[in-house]
Amino acid sequence: MKSRPLSTHQKKKMKPIKEIKESIDKSVLCWLATVSNENIPNVSPKEIFAYYGTDALIIANIASPRTVGNIEQNENVCVSFIDILVQKGFQIKGKAKIIGKTDPEFSEMEPILTEMTEGKFPFRTITKVTIEQVRPIIAPKYVLYPETTEKEQIESAKKAYGF
């Protein structure tokens, strides 16, 4: 099943690309959630990921047999990432496609992800997620205590994580 392009209404609801890219750059990991045909969920941490083009994320499949298998059965996925100190990020839902070495897009995507791995983690496939929905993720403290600043949240997180 092919992903539908974003409608004008959907694009207006999306966060600016710049904000999403900046959040990705501040995130160490993302979590890719998939579901099999038997409705068995799987959430897998991914270290090598980037924004791609105008409406997609790309993720290196380094050790991801279950993720790849699930996407081949069910293209609906969710990707979440946060800055662990500020404790803000995004949840992205969309349609995923496994891009193999013979796919023309692979040669465009591979250098982006290979640079991030410094050549230390080989991968034969890439997950491309075409973005359909974007929602912000924020720590509950920002909601419960609206006067909380990012600086205060960072100090609190550093203390909690021991650095």
Residue-wise pLDDT tens digits, 105-119: 999 999 999 999 998
Q: What is the pTM for the complete model shown?
A: 0.86
| SS3 label, residue 64 | coil
Which residue has tokens 């983690």?
Answer: 121
Say if residue 28 is exposed, middle or buried (CB neighbours under 10 Å; 0-12, 13-18, 19+).
exposed
> What pLDDT does residue 107 have?
96
pLDDT at 75: 96
Q: Tell me the pLDDT tens digit for each residue of 57-96.
A: 999 999 989 999 999 999 999 999 999 999 999 999 999 9
Q: Please check the confidence at residue 25 and state whether its pLDDT lies above 80.
A: yes
Which band of pLDDT confidence, cut at 50, 70 and 90, is reported for residue 4?
very low
pLDDT tops 50 at residue 24: yes
Q: Whose CA is closest to 5, among 98, 112, 95? A: 95
Domain residue limits, the chain: 8-138
33 touches 39 (CB < 8 A): no
153 CA to centre of own chain: 23
Contact 26, 49 (CB under 8 A): no
What topology does CATH give the domain 8-138? Pnp Oxidase; Chain A (2.30.110)
pLDDT band at 17 (very low <50, low <70, confident <90, very high): confident
The pLDDT tens digits for 96-106 are: 999 999 999 99
